[in-house]
Amino acid sequence: MTLPAKPIVLILCTGNSCRSHLAEGILRAAADDLVVVHSAGSRPAGYVHPKAIQVMQEIGIDISQHHSKHMNDFLAHSITTVITVCGHADQACPLFPGQLNRHHWGFADPAHATGTEEEILNQFRRVRDEIKQVFEAYAAGLRDRP
């Protein structure tokens, strides 16, 4: 008997440089045995923000091998759930083949933070922690399903 493939969750933001990678890393750590997690952007920046990598390392999650991808790269995939983490991506998001669920959980973009190095890092940490709270709760809900 062959088990069905794991559902695919695609997390979208505009640049796919920060918030979506934070969410991807956190959801993968919290629910990797239940789902396959990817992230992409409507206008990918072409890199993962170094401060996003740094604040994830602080909580023991390595996203240093992630790379920025365009959401159209996933149009040929059977995406079960799409989660947008910024308003622009929510508006630009197409319907993906096989898509059953769509959620929008918006977060501030720490890539636009200003101030001292420590103040900027604190903005990244704050957004990371907000994303962590939401996506760990989402993963717990996945675990509670039959």
pLDDT tens digits along 17-29 = 999 999 999 999 9
Q: Nearest to residue 107, comparing CAs of 132, 131, 124, 82?
A: 131
pTM of the predicted protein model: 0.91
Tokens of 71: 């959401």
Give CA angle at 62 (59, 135), nearest 5°: 60
pLDDT at 83: 95
* pLDDT value for 11: 96
Residues with Cβ < 8 Å from 134, sequence gap 6 or more? 105
In this prediction, what percent of the chain has a pLDDT beyond 90?
75
pLDDT of residue 7 exceeding 80:
yes
What's the mean pLDDT in 33-47?
Answer: 93
Per-residue confidence band for 77, with pLDDT thresholds at 50, 70 and 90: confident
Catalytic residues: 13, 86, 93
Percent of the chain with pLDDT over 70: 95
Please give the pLDDT value at position 3. Answer: 46
| 13, 89 Cβ separation under 8 angstroms | yes
Cβ distance 89 to 70 under 8 Å? no
User: Model confidence at 146, in pLDDT bands (50, 70, 90)?
Assistant: low
| Statement: residue 2 has pLDDT above 70 | no
Burial class of residue 126, CB neighbours in 10 A (0-12, 13-18, 19+): middle
Q: Is the pLDDT of residue 87 over 80?
A: no
> Which residues are registered as beta bridge partners of 72?
none
Q: Which amino acid is at 109?
A: D
Report the SS3 class of residue 7: coil
Residue 136's CB: how many other CB atoms inside 10 A? 15
How far apart CA 64 and CA 111 sit, in angstroms, is 17
Do the Cβ atoms of 38 and 66 come closer than 8 Å? no
Determine the straight-line distance between the first and last CA of the chain, rounded to whole angstroms. Answer: 19
Which domains does the chain possess? 8-144 (3.40.50.2300)
